[in-house]
Structure 1
Amino acid sequence: MMDDRDGRYGDRGREERPRGPRVPPHHLEAERSVLGAILLNNEAIHRVVEIGIEPRDFYLEAHGRIFETLHSLSGRGQPLDLITLSSALRDRGWYEDIGGQTTLTALVEDTFSIGNVVYYAKIVREKALLRRMIEIAGDITRDAFDGVDDVEVFLDEAEKRVFSVSDIQLTKSFSSMKDILVKNISDIEEAASRGTAVTGLPTGFNDFDKMTAGLHPGQLIIVGGRPAMGKTSLVVSAAQNAALLHKGVVMIFSLEMSKEELVMRMLSSQARIDSKRLRLGRLVDRDWPRLAQAADQLSKAKIFIDDSGALTVMDMRARCRRLMAQEKKLDLIVVDYLQLMQGSKSGRNDGSREKEISEISRNLKSLAKELKVPIIGLSQLSRALESRPDKRPMLSDLRESGAIEQDADLVGFVYRDEYYNKDSEDRGIAEFIVAKHRAGETGTVRLAFMGEYTLFANLAGDMPGSPVPNGPGGGGGGIRPRDDIQL
């Protein structure tokens, strides 16, 4: 622990917090240098505040009070010097508490470099974050000793408290046009070197990828559809393509369907085995090799599924960050579906479901930007479209909130004409109607829909990545499940 050197800070300026066997992380010289630099150059306070420094970030309470007073003076447009600071501290009744003139004079005399104030401020901030982690860890330990009724709830709450520290950004600033252009030109050069029109994460649906250039970090993509249109199957097909063909890491929040049911669908589409026969176990010999290979492929895919109900965006943020720490990246987040999510406590207390959905939509967009990951959110549509002659969805059909349309970068609707018109010429054809696209064109993409496999694919051929082969000899051979399926 650092000494008070020659005692010039006075008794009141000494560390005032109780000490245990170990001293929390801190750096008193950095704290003093930050305060001294502000007194010597008033412009320094803007650079310090930009880093996110708050009064509570100072280990010594006296330093925190001095900074709070300086910040208040600056906010009122007053000069920051020993005279104005002393006067303001007296007005607040803090002058003697911080050590009086001895402490203030020493701050100025002991500041050797004004130019390094940002570096000193970062040290103060980092030490504060470490102390906050220690405090949270102590609270979690104490709560665990006191007894826990529901361990799962306790773990979830503990996780949120830990990740709340990482929500605090060490720096947050504006960027110059030059810096932004350097990044943009770099992205353009990278795209040119790839020789492909798809600059984002491909979905595997060729016409859609050509229209959108793929899914891009920070985007919120809304996929809407009436029940039985296949919106979950469409998005799951895209997620499988991203993980299997492009080695992406995918997080799926399945609020409606259990993880087992969702994986059963994936097995059906990957193995090209009728989903009903698969659920009932009515397989013939030639199905087993296909099932085994599909299971092997899916087991290697970086697809993670959370089927917890009534999640909030805060819950999803914590779990995605944990996954990013584990996998070192995250390429796609899927939420099925928005209306089953839960808003914040304040949003729920408001009593308006429309406002709650608006909050959820806004927070999902913020999460996409924060994590730099595209988020696909599924949404229900209003029943009103059922009464129209043309039942193709429109933006006005988004259920419960116009804010969904405003927040989304892209809005697409799934429509299958054969569902409404049994004599339709478009049997086995699905339309994905891109009704809003902030970064480009809109239009309709036609896809093949194989309902028996719960699968969407390109019309010109099969889904990228050939289907699992039938295996030698077609049927027969007496292949048993346990002989062939190993995960």
Structure 2
Amino acid sequence: MSDFIERSDRPSAPRATRSDSRVPPHNLDAEASLLGAMLLNDEPVGLAIEQQLVAEDFYKPAHGHVFAAIRSLSSAAEAIDAVTVADELRRNNLLDELGGLNFLLELQNATPSISSAGRYIRIVRDTSILRRLIRGASDIADIGYSAPADIKIAIDKAEQIVFDIGDEQISDSLQKLHDLTGSVAQILEDRFDAKAEITGVRTGYAKLDKLLSGLQPGTLNIVGARPAVGKSAFALGMAVSGARATNRPVLFFSLEMSATELTQRILSAEAQVDSDRMRTGRLQDADWTKITNAINRLEIPLYIDDTAQITVMQIRQKLRRVNVSDSPPAMVVID
């Protein structure tokens, strides 16, 4: 029964603040109705666990304790009803404090509809998120009032607070085949009307584009080969081509080479100037003309990040920033 004792690491929102007397968002009726549905049927229990609902999502502490008891019984594969939950609460010295068995029976009897449990969960989760946003805003204000020496670190902390709240959300990825076929039919119709051989993002490599019809949205493409055979150059060429063809942001994350080295490679390929001459500086007059023209042609939305130990979370944050400041990225390359 350890699940009942352990609480989520997610910080709970305060009930009120000294500077603001407003009551945080909550819906006690939805909380009570959800708990009552769980006491009557196992399906709402499984649905709440699948949606990653935790005790801290409940505004009323008593409701949080009841949910924790239900979740503990579910983890132990034990029956869940008013009597078994009451026993679990009694073992943790909470039953009398909550009002005894009658409190659970009131929850059970006050449930309007078990079939609406999914809606109750969304209400409880949404109001919990709003309370965490309020707390996050307070934390961000504290960062600002502290007058930090490093503004960049302060902004990063503030962004992390908001993103941590957003990252807790999960989406229902289950879809009926009938709904999917309707979406696919629309895609096929659009492709038919476009009359284009390349339906995805062009890579710049004709044979590959013909084989894949371009890089399709939502796909993961892995380039594999032995060391030092040109994988990075190949990926870099795709990034440049994708940004140029779509005029949408393409993000290139390099965990090995610096942004300067990558830019030099791009310039060398675009200007058709020998990379050794660029590396040594032994450029000819004609090379300078080619490089200048190449620079003008490379006014494309290609973003390069050379953070060596970048994390998935950081990549997601950078994608969000580009999505807001520019437009949705057409391609992301990680080398």
What is the root-mean-square deviation of aligned Cα atoms in Å? Answer: 3.4
Amino acid at match of 2:223: I
The 1:330/1:45 distance shift into structure 2, 3 A limit, reads: same
The 1:335/1:97 distance shift into structure 2, 3 A limit, reads: same
Query: Mapping of 1:48-447 within 5 angstroms?
Result: 48-101=48-101, 103-142=103-142, 151-153=151-153, 155-216=155-216, 217-227=218-228, 229-275=229-275, 280=281, 282=283, 284=285, 288=289, 291=291, 293-299=293-299, 301-336=300-335
Shift of 1:200: 3.2
Shift of 1:285: 7.4
Residue aligning to 1:27: 27
| Count of matched residue positions in the alignment of Structure 1 and Structure 2 | 319
Whether contact under 8 Å (1:201, 1:215) holds in the other structure is yes
> For 1:196 and 1:16, how far apart are their aligned partners in 2?
56
Whether contact under 8 Å (1:34, 1:120) holds in the other structure is yes
> For 1:42 and 1:255, how far apart are their aligned partners in 2?
48
Query: Mapping of 1:38-57 within 5 angstroms?
Result: 38-57=38-57
Amino acid at match of 1:295: I
Whether contact under 8 Å (2:58, 2:124) holds in the other structure is yes
Where do 5+ consecutive residues of structure 2 fail to align? 1-12
Shift of 1:242: 0.4
The 1:116/1:262 distance shift into structure 2, 3 A limit, reads: same
> For 2:127 and 2:287, how far apart are their aligned partners in 1?
63
> For 1:157 and 1:308, how far apart are their aligned partners in 2?
18
Amino acid at match of 2:302: I
The 1:308/1:42 distance shift into structure 2, 3 A limit, reads: closer
Whether contact under 8 Å (2:32, 2:111) holds in the other structure is yes
The 1:29/1:328 distance shift into structure 2, 3 A limit, reads: farther
The 1:203/1:176 distance shift into structure 2, 3 A limit, reads: same
| TM-score normalised by structure 1 residue count | 0.56
The 1:112/1:268 distance shift into structure 2, 3 A limit, reads: same
The 1:250/1:16 distance shift into structure 2, 3 A limit, reads: closer
> For 2:181 and 2:50, how far apart are their aligned partners in 1?
23
Q: For residue 269 of structure 2, give the secondary structure of its aligned residue in structure 1.
A: helix
Whether contact under 8 Å (1:16, 1:61) holds in the other structure is no
Shift of 1:241: 0.6
Shift of 1:291: 4.8
Shift of 1:286: 9.1
Shift of 1:66: 1.0
Amino acid at match of 1:128: S
Whether contact under 8 Å (1:160, 1:315) holds in the other structure is no
The 1:255/1:79 distance shift into structure 2, 3 A limit, reads: closer
> For 1:226 and 1:101, how far apart are their aligned partners in 2?
68
Shift of 1:16: 9.4
Whether contact under 8 Å (2:57, 2:124) holds in the other structure is yes
Question: Residue deviations 1:442-470, cap 9 Å, x none?
Answer: xxxxxxxxxxxxxxxxxxxxxxxxxxxxx
Shift of 1:298: 2.5
| TM-score normalised by structure 2 residue count | 0.78
Question: Residue deviations 1:286-345, cap 9 Å, x none?
Answer: 954x5555434423x221111223222332232223323433412222223xxxxxxxxx
Judging by fraction of residues, say which structure has more strand. 1
Shift of 1:207: 0.6
Shift of 1:122: 0.8
Amino acid at match of 2:321: R
Question: Residue deviations 1:351-373, cap 9 Å, x none?
Answer: xxxxxxxxxxxxxxxxxxxxxxx
Name which one, 1 or 2, has greater alpha-carbon Rg. Answer: 1
Amino acid at match of 2:121: A
Q: For residue 234 of structure 2, give the secondary structure of its aligned residue in structure 1.
A: helix
